[in-house]
Amino acid sequence: MRRCEMLAILNNKDKNGWGKKVDLDKVISAVATPMFVVDENLIVRNVSDVALKTLGYSRGEVVGKMTCAELCKTPLCGTANCMVRRCMRTGETIIEETEAQTRDGRRVPIEACCSAIFDDKGKPIGGMEVILDRTDQEIAMEEINRLSAAAEAGQLNERADPEKASTEGFKRLFQGINDMLDAILEPIGEAVTVIDKLAAFDLTARMEGEYKGDHARLKNSLNAAMENLQEFVRQVAAAAEQVAAAAEQVSSGSQALSQSTTEQASAVEEVSSSLQELVSMATQNADSAKEGKSITDSARANIADGVESMRELSQAIERIKSSADETSKIIKTIDEIAFQT
């Protein structure tokens, strides 16, 4: 039943006489949401069974005995902002969010919708208030805020608790949020696994899940990056092998050069030794020549002793000849060594 129809019935303005065919008390009692009707003094004249159950009272305790302020105990009740009073004063429908208090003191977040009831002369004679329990909405906001804070803190495994909701609709909402988070985080989790393997020097890891849209683009981009990195490492390894081979060649050439240098130094040392020997032989030749000159001078001065002196001269000449032969051999050896180097 629409609210305007209910107001028409309560105001006795139902032109078709529908209101005369039904028991309004039974209709109001059966409304499937918390609802009550008050008179001009705000005394409750009828109330739905759901309202009684929600607030914790019996029908006998409330109807004709309690004001709406005593029944609901909202922060607006008994003040200038009383919603029913404002409706009767302005004739407007008022909707506001507030809190009701149950019999046991539990605070219930509600959305209250109030309308005034008028008689045939337009005089306000009461009001009607429909209450929507916002408990599940509040729980939903708390869960969403909690999940948002967890996401900002990097705690991506947090999920909503469907059991906190009292109605099936909100339980399905919470489960839908969880399913959405799982769908978002599944490719991210696989991407993190691939990156972890990369950090452990495993370049073969790839994303393999079946994804769509942006998730597919994430998969393709990461896999392409891994392929490019793997190919780059292959090229670096090949270049390193080439550098190592070139270094080996340089090392071998250096060893050959070192050996050749050693051989040349040995040859030079041999030549130096031969030169020293040559100098020594030349010195001996000079000494022999001096001795020959001395003998010749003696031969000239002592021709009478010529036979003996000639014999000595002959011996000196033989020694000179022998020294000259040795000198010739040394010079030949030096030439051969010079040719070899």
Split at pLDDT 50, 70, 90, the class of 242 is confident
230, 300 in Cβ contact below 8 A? no
96-105, 184-193, 219-228, 306-315: least confident range:
306-315
Query: Average pLDDT for residues 161-179, to the nearest whole number?
Result: 91
pLDDT for 259 equals: 73
pLDDT for 147 equals: 92
Q: Per-residue pLDDT tens for 1-43?
A: 444 445 455 555 455 554 555 578 888 999 989 999 999 999 9
Q: Per-residue pLDDT tens for 70-106?
A: 999 999 999 999 999 999 999 999 999 999 999 999 9
* Residue 239 or residue 253, greater confidence: 239
pLDDT at residue 326 greater than cutoff 50: yes
126 burial via Cβ count (<10 Å: 0-12, 13-18, 19+)? buried
Percentage of the chain beyond pLDDT 90 is: 44
Query: Average pLDDT for residues 258-264, to the nearest whole number?
Result: 66
DSSP string, 214-245: HHHHHHHHHHHHHHHHHHHHHHHHHHHHHHHH
29, 46 in Cβ contact below 8 A? yes
DSSP string, 180-208: HHHHHHHHHHHHHHHHHHHHTT-TT----
47-56, 58-67, 95-104, 320-329: least confident range:
320-329
CA distances from 183 to 102, 158, 162, 192 (A): 40, 14, 18, 15
Measured at the CA of 85, the angle between CA 129 and CA 81, to 5 degrees, comes to 95
Summarize the chain as % helix, strand, coil (round to 5): 65, 10, 25
Rounded to an integer, what distance in angstroms lies between the CA atom of residue 177 and that of residue 96?
A: 28
318, 311 in Cβ contact below 8 A? no
- Rg of the chain over Cα atoms, rounded to whole angstroms, equals 61
pLDDT for 304 equals: 55
Split at pLDDT 50, 70, 90, the class of 248 is confident
Cite the DSSP H helix spans in 63-167: 68-72, 83-90, 135-152
SS3 assignment, position 325: helix
Q: In the chain, where are the structural domains located?
A: 3-133, 139-199, 262-340
Average pLDDT in the chain? 81
Residue type, 119: D
- Domain 3-133 bears CATH identifier 3.40.50.300: no
pTM of the model: 0.56
Q: Classify residue 303 by its DSSP letter.
A: G
Query: Average pLDDT for residues 264-276, to the nearest whole number?
Result: 64
